[in-house]
Amino acid sequence: MDPEPLERITARRAELDEREELLAKELAEVRAERDELAVAERVLERVASSLPTNAPRPRRRLGRWADVR
DSSP codes of every residue in the chain: --HHHHHHHHHHHHHHHHHHHHHHHHHHHHHHHHHHHHHHHHHHHHHHHHS-TTS---EEETTEEE---
Which pLDDT belongs to residue 69?
A: 46
Give the pLDDT of residue 51.
80
What's the pLDDT at 58? Answer: 64
Per-residue pLDDT of the chain in tens (69 residues, 90 and over written 9): 788 999 999 999 999 999 999 999 999 999 999 999 999 999 999 998 888 777 666 666 666 655 544
- Provide CB contacts within 8 A for 59, sequence distance 6+: 65, 66, 68
Indicate the residue type of 19.
R
Q: What is the pTM of this model?
A: 0.62
